[in-house]
Amino acid sequence: MTPLDWIVLVATITGIIGFGLWKSRGSKSVDQYLLAGKSMPWYAMGLSIMATQASAITFIATTGQAYVDGLRFVQFYFGLPIAMVIISATAVPIFHRSGVYTAYEYLERRFDAKTRALASIVFLIQRGMAVGLAMYAPAIVMSIIFGWPDQITTAVIGILVVIYTTSGGIPAVTWTDVLQMSIIFLGLISALITVFALMPHGVSVSDAIFLAGYSGKLNAVDLHLDWNNRYNLWSGLIGGSFLALGYFGCDQSQVQRYLTGKSVAQSRLSLLFNAMAKVPMQFFILFVGAMVFVFFLFEQPPVLFQSAAMKTISGQAAYSGVQKSYDAAWNARKAAALDLNAARKQHSSEQTRAAEQKLRAAQKQLDGARADAAHIYEKAEGEKDFHDTNYIFLSFVTRYLPHGLIGLVIAVIFAAAMSSSSGELNSLATVTVIDIYKRHFQPAASDSHYLFVSRLCTAGWGIVAVVFAQYGRNLGSLVEAVNRVGSLFYPTLLGAFVLAFFFPRVKGGSAFWAMLFGEAIILLCARYTNIAFLWYNVIGAILVVALGIFVAFFVHNPKEKIKC
């Protein structure tokens, strides 16, 4: 990076942190620190909800996901609008009327203390792991630019996030998110414009879209129902709806956002805004990744996008043969892409079919060479399941974007990492203080004491996140990894809240045992079956509800009839 890139990067990050701290001045009570005094407008909550979910993983891994697998990942979000409408109609008014700080505080009022504690522990485990993955994403940035170790990068990000989250609480997090989302959109639009500008002479925007389609990168919808296929219309609509219900309806990092709203109406507006904006935003991010793929049809990328891996394999005896095979495959693919584009303009269906076959054959050979290179790296380093998907977009950014714009895009990635991490750390601290510490250890302390402990817990969870971030390198595509983690735990929480909201005769003992057995079966399903992870959300939630009803009416009260 040049001095201009550094100026843009440092100025952007400093401005974001300063803006958040300035907007959060006056957070001197627990209510202000954790719920912003319920003073937030809908647009601030809406952008904060979007920013918390749109972590650095979204921009690093989602673009790489599209490069490798096309647009079909967008189906993952098809159920989100449905979930937002349901949550707006049910969870939002219930949580607002109850006057709770956390979603799990409501479970004790509805059930009992042990159910609240179990739900809190499930959340802390899941969200504690997820925030570590969010913090790992910037480590990819610095490893590409400077070759810095993961430990240094995650520690720096952790310190920055903890400083402004600890100082300002939820107001700092929310207002910082508003500014961050604006910068994120600016960076993405700039990256897409640059991709189109760098296309070779004679390749227009419509040509690039045409080539992406023929390369299989624009197949956004798969109508085939396959339980083992991660992304199709049915897993997205059904499994995605259940996952979104669990995330936005039961995860404190999201519930806490709309608990800060001025009113039920304002909180509902924030969710409905996300219902309309989230799918188009994800489609746009994936589209950027697909266009990067088209760019690399004409500009040769490295065999592996991770620079450290390339250094490792370049010294291996088997590498020279792989590089020759890769070069030949890339040249054949480029020639086929040019032929395909020319055939399109000549309206020759016969030439188009021939060029398409050559393009697919060359792509298969190129993928094989990349797989061989990955195998060489795995053998040299003693690792398994090497993936470089998370490095693709950043490789493009650092090699081809104009100076100054590189600094802006890197700032976008850091901003997204800080945005999601800060919200998650704040929610982890909230649950730790309100649901664990205050409820079970210090129920009658002063407001200033709880404020101090909240700040202490924020810093403590920041340390935990930095430690867990070191495992991110072994999890493949981070955007998949973070949703796989969520799909292991959200079904249990969702099932518990469905029982709480809609089955008034189910009591605490029934809900508690249903959650325990349901979680155990979800983990067994993940360990011993090949069912796509989105379906865990459906299976788990229905199982918890069914078990809760069964225990309530056939074990605890076997003589009663079911009237729910």
What digits encode the pLDDT tens for the residues 228-244? 777 788 888 898 899 88
What pTM was computed for the model?
0.76
Q: Rounded CA gap, 192 and 246, in Å?
A: 33
Structure tokens at 394: 């950043």
Rg of the chain in Å (alpha carbons):
25
The answer to whether 380 and 16 are in contact (CB under 8 A) is no
Structure tokens at 424: 């998650």
Q: Which residues are registered as beta bridge partners of 261?
A: 40
pLDDT band at 513 (very low <50, low <70, confident <90, very high): very high
| Residues 107-115: contacts with CB under 8 Å, at least 24 apart | 107/496, 107/497, 107/500, 107/511, 108/439, 110/500, 111/496, 111/500, 111/507, 111/508, 111/511, 111/512, 112/507, 112/508, 112/509, 112/512, 113/439, 114/508, 114/512, 115/496, 115/508, 115/511, 115/512, 115/515
Q: Rounded CA gap, 177 and 183, in Å?
A: 10
Residues in the chain, total: 564
pLDDT band at 262 (very low <50, low <70, confident <90, very high): confident
pLDDT at position 519, please?
92
pLDDT at position 564, please?
39
Q: What letters, b where the CB count within 10 A reaches 16 and e where it falls short, cover 13-34?
A: beebbebbbebbeebeebebbb
Residue 169 has pLDDT above 60, yes or no: no
Determine the topology of domain 3-296+396-556 in CATH: Sodium/glucose cotransporter (1.20.1730)
Q: Rounded CA gap, 82 and 248, in Å?
A: 12
Q: What letters, b where the CB count within 10 A reaches 16 and e where it falls short, cover 171-196?
A: bbbbbbbbbbbebbeebbebbbebbe
The answer to whether 267 and 42 are in contact (CB under 8 A) is yes
pLDDT in tens, 334-387: 999 998 888 888 877 888 888 888 988 999 999 999 999 989 988 888 777 787
Range 141-163 average pLDDT: 69
